[in-house]
Structure 1
């Protein structure tokens, strides 16, 4: 199934099972489920269904202590994809006979098999990633996971290669879910989801009734995010003094012109980083930052994470080459 650009409202719902292991990473699971919930909301119908599963169907404790109810794996409803979610205690589970037997069994089924974060090494152990490209987190130095030197690893936050889905951790899970949904229901569904999120986090600003000079300034800022201009030059361009401009921003937006301009540039930088097509120094320079160090400080203050944590989150290609055609059902 090729990647669809437009949303296909009649496409069947994707059926996803999340196979939890004891002490699984709750944050990673939540980051996987939220895009699915939002997709159903934006589409106005069920474009995906999910089940929370485990080997025995008992309640499991996440690594943060939250208890989650599960259904027995062998009693799961029909699935298009099964994704394993583990935690940091991987070394205690790699030699469990029942677990490995089930991994072997599901790897032979004509559905997609995936893993989030460290659980990807469980797929590697049973040979489920042989012949597939995959994205895995770096193993602990004390572990023996480095023995899997035949794996075809890719330097990307996530990878979808035919019937295998892998990602490096909780921040990459969102991109993995977006890619899965896009390849089934079209890229426009993901764009609709992103627009919905953008509306939710944008503060209410009554700019439609704002003074004409303020609206001119906002437009000028939006048009010069890559090639930034000094505030005084923009004020002069629209025929207003810097002092008057400061008052307009404080009264209508609650911040200074320079603060608002910085926020817009950081949002632009975030989009460039997530595209996976630009290096951090290039993004910093093109968004008007005098140095990479200054960019990192501003970015961490605004988003709460290092810029590298957002690099390639929306990556749709590996090494500049499109991923192979993907089918949830192996077609």
Structure 2
């Protein structure tokens, strides 16, 4: 149910013959009264990764033992697919709730879980569901991150574990986290290991930007408005921060305070963001050579342009040549 990176590159080609990134396929195995908050925190990074990558780098399915709708702990019903009828997946993640001791009474659950623990896939759990992995010995020899044990847990089970003092842990083919808020970090780590940390860095930057309050331009400080306009007019021959401050008739320190207070970043950081976004627009038009784009966006060398672009977008500039934002 898993493929090597070479096999994925052979399988996934665009019409131009350019390989696409591998699709990370995840099955979420839901149990009755599962924690919807934990599940939502796990799903949001996957949705955001697809949005920023502009293609499906992740796919997921809601699964259960019998394929019937299940109620979350807050009563919201969720449709599921029977586990043995699921599409191919590379990662199976167990999602339970506070009443996991009741789940162990269901015939066949631990046996079925043991079956999947022996398959060549990654197996994980959110919060207390990790203790079910521990019960069948699936965490033996793996580092893990688990919440406090329940009184019913045996000492033998605890002795076989190698816990880490961290909110989440990915150790080879095992993924665990202590609770709902750690689920997002767990997914970020999984995405980083599959698609590289550049993608996760872009996701984090996007989240920071989304969290900024809207700043109506007419309400922004006049000096800030003027500086932003000057930056947009000088994307090719970039101005130094000292030059911008001098043009505004204020100190460089005052200018930096304006940006930090209103935009949450330094003038240099915002200026670089503008230039990189302009570079991507030029590349998408398909009418400019890479060296020309670097020069038109104020980069002193092509190598510096490549490095900044990869750090910001998680891709090489050539990957975006002629690629419309609506292609995917």
Gapped runs of 5+ residues in structure 1?
3-7, 217-236, 241-247, 266-331
Q: CA deviation at 1:213?
A: 8.6
Question: Residue in 1 aligned with 2:44?
Answer: 34
Task: Tell whether the 8 Å contact from 1:213 to 1:238 is kept in structure 2 after alignment.
Answer: no
Calculate the TM-score normalised by the size of structure 2. 0.62
CA distance in 2, matches of 1:145, 1:31: 30
* 3-state DSSP of counterpart to 1:97: coil
Q: 1:167 to 1:215 in 2, by over 3 A?
A: farther
Alignment equivalent of 2:152, drawn from 143, 166, 185: 143
Gapped runs of 5+ residues in structure 2?
6-17, 228-249, 266-328
Greater RCO, 1 or 2 (C-alpha within 8 Å, sep 6+): 1
Question: Residue in 1 aligned with 2:107?
Answer: 97
CA distance in 2, matches of 1:203, 1:93: 44
Alignment equivalent of 1:210, drawn from 197, 206, 221: 221
Q: CA deviation at 1:39?
A: 0.5
Q: CA deviation at 1:211?
A: 3.6
Question: Residue in 2 aligned with 1:69?
Answer: 79
CA distance in 1, matches of 2:61, 2:223: 52
Q: CA deviation at 1:206?
A: 5.3
| Alignment partner of 1:18 is 2:11 | no
Q: 1:214 to 1:79 in 2, by over 3 A?
A: closer
CA distance in 2, matches of 1:151, 1:95: 23
Runs of 4+ in 1 over 6 A off after TM superposition: 213-216
Question: Residue in 2 aligned with 1:122?
Answer: 132
Alignment equivalent of 1:132, drawn from 120, 124, 142: 142
Q: CA deviation at 1:90?
A: 1.1
* 3-state DSSP of counterpart to 1:88: coil
Q: Deviations over 1:191-243 (max 9, x none)?
A: 11112212211122257963449999xxxxxxxxxxxxxxxxxxxx9599xxx
Q: How many residues align?
A: 225
Q: CA deviation at 1:83?
A: 0.2
Question: Residue in 2 aligned with 1:54?
Answer: 64
